[in-house]
């Protein structure tokens, strides 16, 4: 749209109806939005294929519904994260073709099929059963973003053989998401075994000196293994988003 404004101005200059000084002044005072459209468009197009994502926590069902409706109109796929059971049921009622996943607390409504587009597998590993909700948030998000996802759950470092048994899955993944609470040692061990980027997700699982996941977070940031980067506590979505960007062709 902005191109139109600029073009008209340039035509007026060419036709001599607007002097160069005046044109210069008008260019200077054009709102920023008129000049920077390129950024916006490019940006959006690069993200093409990713669904729009709604952070469901702290929003009412009514608010979420309104946003979903608006996005569906534009033909977007829509992913809601952090939607508890009650919200999930109400969203399902409102958008029956949507899919609610209780374990992941996600609700996904498609306008079009998700195209599998990644370079390889996104492997989601988690340490304990209590970490599964965060791991599932990551796994579902990654799937909705077009990745082939493999899950490897309940392979905590206290029973290291369970993890080592899964050599094939570890070795063939293109990106790994390692979800763990408590001491958060899983990403260190995993990154020592593979040669691909590991995204560490600390969870708030733990008590006492766990400090709501802060201990886990800090421990992961101090990993003795190279190849790890970290996202916020319980941020399965964020890890999947990074993994999807990495995994894009």
Positive/negative CA dihedral, 16, 22, 27, 31: negative
Residues 6+ apart with CB under 8 A from 2: 33, 34, 35, 37
Among 128, 142, 147, 236, binds a copy of itself (CB under 8 A): 128
Is residue 115 involved in binding a copy of itself (CB under 8 A)?
Answer: no
Residue ranges in 74-131 assigned as alpha helix (H): 85-94
Question: Site map for a copy of itself, 37-76, x if CB under 8 A?
Answer: xxxx-xx--xx-----x---xx------------------
Rank residues 72 and 192 by Cβ distance to a copy of itself and give the closer one.
192
Q: Are 223 and 192 in contact (CB under 8 A)?
A: no
Minimal distance, residue 116 CB to a copy of itself, in Å: 19
Is residue 91 involved in binding a copy of itself (CB under 8 A)?
Answer: no
Is residue 84 involved in binding a copy of itself (CB under 8 A)?
Answer: no
Residues 2-21 that bind a copy of itself (CB under 8 A): 3, 6-7, 10-11, 13-14, 16, 19-21
Minimal distance, residue 63 CB to a copy of itself, in Å: 8
C-alpha dist (Å) from residue 178 to 42, 98, 248:
32, 28, 19
Closest by CA to 107, choosing from 67, 47, 158, is 67
Residues 188-207 that bind a copy of itself (CB under 8 A): 188-189, 191-197, 199, 202, 204-207
Instruction: Return the structure tokens found at 147.
Output: 């990745």
Q: In what order do the strands lie in the sheet with 106-109?
A: 52-55, 78-81, 106-109, 99-101
Minimal distance, residue 12 CB to a copy of itself, in Å: 9
Q: Are 236 and 137 in contact (CB under 8 A)?
A: yes
Q: Quote the CA–CA distance of 184 and 204 in Å, as a whole number.
A: 10
Minimal distance, residue 149 CB to a copy of itself, in Å: 18
Minimal distance, residue 151 CB to a copy of itself, in Å: 17
Minimal distance, residue 16 CB to a copy of itself, in Å: 6
Q: Are strands 121-126 and 148-152 parallel, antiparallel or unpaired?
A: parallel
Is residue 127 involved in binding a copy of itself (CB under 8 A)?
Answer: yes
Is residue 117 involved in binding a copy of itself (CB under 8 A)?
Answer: no
Rank residues 56 and 98 by Cβ distance to a copy of itself and give the closer one.
56
Three-class SS of 53-69: EEECCCCCHHHHHHHHH
Rank residues 71 and 97 by Cβ distance to a copy of itself and give the closer one.
71
């Amino acid at each position: 749209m902005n191109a139109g404004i600029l073009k008209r101005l340039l035509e007026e200059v060419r036709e001599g109806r607007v002097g160069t000084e005046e044109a210069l002044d008008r260019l200077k005072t054009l709102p920023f939005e008129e000049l920077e459209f390129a950024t916006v468009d490019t940006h959006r197009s690069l993200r093409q294929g990713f669904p729009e994502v709604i952070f469901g926590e702290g929003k009412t069902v009514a608010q979420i519904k309104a946003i979903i409706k608006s996005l569906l109109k534009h033909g977007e796929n829509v992913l809601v994260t952090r939607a508890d059971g009650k919200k999930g049921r109400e969203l399902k009622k409102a958008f029956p073709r949507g899919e609610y996943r209780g374990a992941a607390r996600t609700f996904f409504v498609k306008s079009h099929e998700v195209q599998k587009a990644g370079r390889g597998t996104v492997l989601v590993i988690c340490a304990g059963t209590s970490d599964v909700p965060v791991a599932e948030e990551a796994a579902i998000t990654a799937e909705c973003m077009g990745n082939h996802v493999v899950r490897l759950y309940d392979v905590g470092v206290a029973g290291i053989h369970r993890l080592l048994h899964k050599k094939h899955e570890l070795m063939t993944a293109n990106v790994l998401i390692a979800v763990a609470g408590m001491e958060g040692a899983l990403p260190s061990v995993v990154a020592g075994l593979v040669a691909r980027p590991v995204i560490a997700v600390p969870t708030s699982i733990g008590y006492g000196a766990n400090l709501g996941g802060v201990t886990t977070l800090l421990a992961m940031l101090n990993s003795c293994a190279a190849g790890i980067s970290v996202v916020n506590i319980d941020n399965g979505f964020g890890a999947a988003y990074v993994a999807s960007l990495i995994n894009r062709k």
